[in-house]
Structure 1
């Protein structure tokens, strides 16, 4: 049995930066913190920390994808630490300790989107998703678990509102502008905006959150600039470059989260979510996005994916499996009662249950923030 007085608390066991590694090594000089037992060191280049590794007891530690000099690897393994070496020739890091940034996923965009880590990861996924190779499956699972861990760390204490909607909503339209204003309104009210991280309505909401710290004219100008490339089809490269032009012209925008998936890799992530939790497993991504939207979800017009998200969210609200039902606001009465008549079924599910006080249908996106606030009150 481990000595609990010498084993770090669970919240302190992950080492994701060299500074954290150095601090942990310094602590080993104290008798109550002898050795690195219980620590998990994630995806660090430790080739400059060879002396520390050779002189520190690493028994009971786990090194995930860390680069080390050969003598350091031999010594760490001899101590009894578990060492999962870096996997060569992958376009992604399965052991990553942080979420993606837009710059990371779109690195190399100047040479064409197909050369970026995002596109290369999708190509790898297409090659391996059905080949039955358990090693590839393991890498995807480790990656997605690492992303979930980083996402949870980011959102501790945050009031998260999910904004769902279709990828087909084009820049330059009134609908896109409305979704952007919604994202800005929510961010200015202190919420963390979370979307599916893709184009269309998702990009618009992330753009709005990005625009929140600036004056209102900034969003108007950004929308005009983006309107020159309305869609990611036919050219993801031009579509993405327009977004980075906005980011360059107005740096240090507001924060939001995008949670896309390589399962729908033909839809690129948008560049306005400053923290991107991109998954291989769409089911993990869908459930995680909705589960983390603890302050409610706004559903903009969409198609099959958005309908699925509505009922993925309705199910735990129906059974109260996550506690008190969270608000659900559906935007565009005609869309959700005529085009895709989802609202009548949602009402039928909610009848005589606490979730009935947590659902609303509004005509326009401008009504969504007030509806969200109203639904957030006690159910009685």
Structure 2
């Protein structure tokens, strides 16, 4: 079970990411010295800021009264003020949520949401090459990585990779959802690329894990009425929120999408969305954090790339040794896109050879992953 981000461990207990944490630190010792405060609205905490020791503290994007800001600066703190006019917070201390990224969907459609507006900002600033904008993107992505590491600390994470084109209403989509559900019930944290298709299906399965089995079948039927995010992201996303409203309190999982592929929306079933501007950071980060293995469902170029991005550290036995890799669909990975023979050749004679497997059906994936994990 994923912890809440507010309760996730902070290195050295110096990071403050919620107003509750701020109040606890001030109440406990009255000192903020050396702390890092991220994106916490402190406009109502002027008295505390004027009296607390803030020597060496850093305030990242924290709204505060002008006299409080002046005082903490004079006391030896660094203050990075909020950046006005942005559709995202570069200093955020917590991951995105579906409700946050899709805010305004019900009334204004997808184009009105923070997710769509962040993509539009990215496209505009990427085109003009503004160094300030690129700095803001980098700060945002580093903040996301920090929040993701805190959230996943101590978790057994299984990555589920696969193509975005897998449509709702298909047997393949249902199979991917049941895989996500089984992995979650087995105690793993499911992590995906956070987008549509196979990624959404696996996050949906994890969301369905606490509910009875019939819930997933009913949810699949609702989603099948809007099989793809084209031609309408709005209709596609509203169908997902219909499922969430009918069955609240779903199980947790992680999605790691990117605005680099802004035409692909994030899915609404990952409880935590670590959305990045830099796709390379996102790709490597997703695989690096899949410490309990990766399942590769049928996909195209992106999924093939992920197979060998994951195989490289396994080949060199970095990241603590090889982790399990399960490829699903024998025909796809031996004939359509023959990644499996190359992966076998790469693994020959190395420890990773005992940690890779090809299965014919998605129903075999969870058990196979568990077997590979127990053999290591």
Same fold (TM over 0.5): yes
1:334 aligns with 2:335: no
**Aligned position for 2:4:** none
Secondary structure, counterpart of 1:232 in structure 2: coil
Q: CA deviation at 1:378?
A: 3.2
**Aligned position for 2:14:** 13
The match for 2:283 among 282, 286, 289 is 286
Kept after mapping to 1: 8 A contact 2:35/2:58: yes
Deviations, residues 321-376 of structure 1 (Å, cap 9, x unaligned): 11220000000011111111111111111000000001101111001012101111
- Classify 1:209/1:66 alpha carbon distance in 2 versus 1 (closer, same or farther; 3 Å): same
Q: CA deviation at 1:268?
A: 0.2
Give the whole-Å Cα distance in 1 for the aligned partners of 2:319 and 2:53.
42
1:225 aligns with 2:222: yes
Q: CA deviation at 1:129?
A: 1.9
- Unmatched segments (≥5 aa) in structure 1: 1-8, 30-34
Q: CA deviation at 1:377?
A: 2.5
Give the whole-Å Cα distance in 1 for the aligned partners of 2:225 and 2:184.
26
Alignment of 1:1-380 (within 5 A): 10-29=11-30, 35-110=31-106, 111-379=108-376
Kept after mapping to 1: 8 A contact 2:34/2:54: no
Q: CA deviation at 1:27?
A: 3.2
Secondary structure, counterpart of 1:63 in structure 2: strand
Give the whole-Å Cα distance in 1 for the aligned partners of 2:217 and 2:32.
53
Shift >4 Å, 4+ stretches: none
Secondary structure, counterpart of 2:159 in structure 1: strand
Count of paired positions: 366
Give the whole-Å Cα distance in 2 for the aligned partners of 1:23 and 1:222.
41
Secondary structure, counterpart of 1:193 in structure 2: strand
Give the whole-Å Cα distance in 2 for the aligned partners of 1:249 and 1:265.
28
User: What's the TM-score once normalised by structure 2's chain length?
Assistant: 0.96
Give the whole-Å Cα distance in 2 for the aligned partners of 1:369 and 1:118.
32
Bigger radius of gyration: 1
Secondary structure, counterpart of 1:59 in structure 2: coil
Q: CA deviation at 1:28?
A: 3.3
Give the whole-Å Cα distance in 1 for the aligned partners of 2:206 and 2:12.
29
Cα RMSD of the aligned pairs, angstroms, is 1.0
Q: CA deviation at 1:304?
A: 0.7
User: What's the TM-score once normalised by structure 1's chain length?
Assistant: 0.95
Deviations, residues 134-164 of structure 1 (Å, cap 9, x unaligned): 2111111111111111111111111111000
Secondary structure, counterpart of 2:320 in structure 1: coil
Secondary structure, counterpart of 1:91 in structure 2: coil
- Unmatched segments (≥5 aa) in structure 2: 1-9
Kept after mapping to 1: 8 A contact 2:94/2:147: yes
Secondary structure, counterpart of 1:96 in structure 2: coil
Give the whole-Å Cα distance in 2 for the aligned partners of 1:114 and 1:206.
23
Give the whole-Å Cα distance in 2 for the aligned partners of 1:345 and 1:101.
38
Deviations, residues 67-110 of structure 1 (Å, cap 9, x unaligned): 01111111111112100000000000000010111000000002
Deviations, residues 31-67 of structure 1 (Å, cap 9, x unaligned): xxxx322100110111100011111221210000000
Give the whole-Å Cα distance in 2 for the aligned partners of 1:113 and 1:169.
21
Give the whole-Å Cα distance in 2 for the aligned partners of 1:20 and 1:180.
36
